[in-house]
């Protein structure tokens, strides 16, 4: 590895994975460490956070687990304090936590909408709010938010609250980018397309269709004719978090094999 994040301290929210294999947050945490960052691995699932820490330490990196549910008030502040205490002041905040619920507007369930927005938008705002004072006093910091192409395009199923919340996340990042550019803080978004993660195989497949069918259809959809990997998303996150992206802020970058450029054939 080329040490793109050498000497940096990163917080990764949602650093575990919901099943065996590589989720986007787990891959980001491990890749950040491979590139030289020390990583606070935050997850509501302690075993999942610990597993990511174990992988990082096994490769000679430095990481620390932190158990928190991003929807709980005070969780992001506690995580930021833990980062400062165990590793040092965070210079990178990578917000990967995201949940989806199927459903349209007519059958909208208010409790479900609130739950999706609490994780996808409010959690991101709280993570940023907790880290901003530290970054401002250091005059340096980078946020990377994991959104989705669902923020700008619809797929074959109705995921209204997911689409609306990811669009709000895109704008939240740009709001931070403009408000804090003069503080030396950058904020960028990655919109993954169809990524082959445990979340898809374990959750969405069970809900919608058989896993093998779903994988085949997901692979056929993007112009590249395959799903992406969590590490392909993580590579973009490393770049955006690194000093190589020093003049990039407010960007919304698809990592989707061209998916968001296509329209379904009639």
Ligand X SMILES: NC(=O)c1ccc[n+]([C@@H]2O[C@H](COP(=O)([O-])OP(=O)(O)OC[C@H]3O[C@@H](n4cnc5c(N)ncnc54)[C@H](O)[C@@H]3O)[C@@H](O)[C@H]2O)c1
Note if 13 is an active site residue. no
> Both ends of the chain: CA-CA distance in Å?
45
Q: Which of 13, 95, 159, 162 is catalytic?
A: 162
Binding ligand X (rule: CB under 6 A), the pick from 8, 16, 83, 221 is 16
Q: Considering only residues 226-265, where is the footprint of ligand X by CB under 6 A?
A: none
Q: Does 69 bind ligand X (CB under 6 A)?
A: yes
Q: What angle do CA 208, 114, 155 make, to 5 degrees?
A: 35
User: What are the Cα distances from residue 129, in Å, to 85, 123, 174, 186?
Assistant: 18, 10, 14, 14
Site track 21-50 with ligand X (rule: CB under 6 A), x = hit: --xxx-----------------xxx--x--
Determine which residue in the list 17, 161, 170, 188 makes contact with ligand X, applying CB under 6 A. Answer: 17
E strand or H helix at 39: strand 38-43
* Order of strands, sheet of 141-146, starting from the edge strand that comes earlier in the sequence: 63-67, 38-43, 9-13, 92-95, 141-146, 185-192, 252-255
Asked if 63 touches ligand X (CB under 6 A), the answer is: no
Question: Which of helix, strand or coil describes residue 154?
Answer: coil
- From candidates 70, 116, 126, 134, binder to ligand X by CB under 6 A: 70
Q: Compute the least distance from the CB of residue 7 to ligand X, in Å.
A: 25
Phi-psi category of residue 160: left, alpha or beta, with phi > 0 → left and psi -120 to 50 → alpha: alpha
Restricting to residues 76-105, name those near ligand X by CB under 6 A.
96-99
Quickly tell me which residue has 């993580």 as its tokens: 234
Q: Does 192 bind ligand X (CB under 6 A)?
A: yes
Give the residue nearest to ligand X (CB). Answer: 98
Q: Which stretch binds ligand X (CB under 6 A): 53-61, 64-72, 78-86, 237-245?
A: 64-72
What would you report as the CA-atom Rg of the chain, rounded to the nearest whole angstrom? 17
Residue 197 makes contact with ligand X by CB under 6 A = yes
Which of the residues are catalytic? 162
Q: Where does this chain bind ligand X (CB under 6 A)?
A: 14, 16-18, 23-25, 43-45, 48, 69-71, 96-99, 119, 146, 148, 192, 194-195, 197-200
């Amino acid at each position: 590895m080329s040490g793109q994040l050498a000497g940096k301290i990163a917080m990764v929210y949602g650093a575990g994975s919901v099943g065996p294999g590589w989720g986007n947050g787990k891959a980001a945490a491990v890749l950040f460490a491979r590139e030289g960052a020390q990583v606070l691995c935050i997850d509501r699932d302690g075993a999942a956070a610990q597993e990511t820490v174990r992988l990082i330490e096994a490769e000679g990196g430095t990481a620390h687990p932190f158990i928190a549910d991003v929807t709980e008030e005070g969780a992001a502040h506690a995580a930021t304090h833990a980062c400062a205490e165990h590793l040092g002041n965070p210079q990178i905040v990578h917000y990967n936590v995201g949940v989806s619920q199927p459903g349209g507007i007519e059958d909208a369930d208010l409790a479900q909408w609130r739950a999706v927005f609490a994780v996808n938008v409010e959690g991101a705002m709280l993570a940023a709010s907790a880290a901003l004072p530290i970054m401002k006093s250091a005059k340096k910091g980078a946020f990377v938010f994991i959104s989705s192409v669902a923020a700008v395009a619809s797929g074959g199923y109705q995921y209204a609250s997911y689409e609306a919340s990811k669009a709000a996340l895109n704008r939240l990042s740009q709001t931070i980018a403009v408000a804090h550019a003069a503080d030396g803080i950058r904020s960028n978004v990655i919109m993954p397309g169809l990524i082959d993660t445990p979340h898809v195989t374990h959750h969405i497949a069970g809900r919608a269709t058989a896993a093998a069918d779903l994988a085949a259809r997901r692979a056929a959809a993007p112009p590249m004719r395959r799903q992406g990997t969590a590490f392909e998303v993580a590579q973009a996150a490393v770049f955006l978090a690194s000093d190589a992206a020093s003049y990039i802020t407010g960007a919304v970058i698809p990592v989707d094999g061209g998916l968001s450029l296509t329209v379904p054939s009639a």
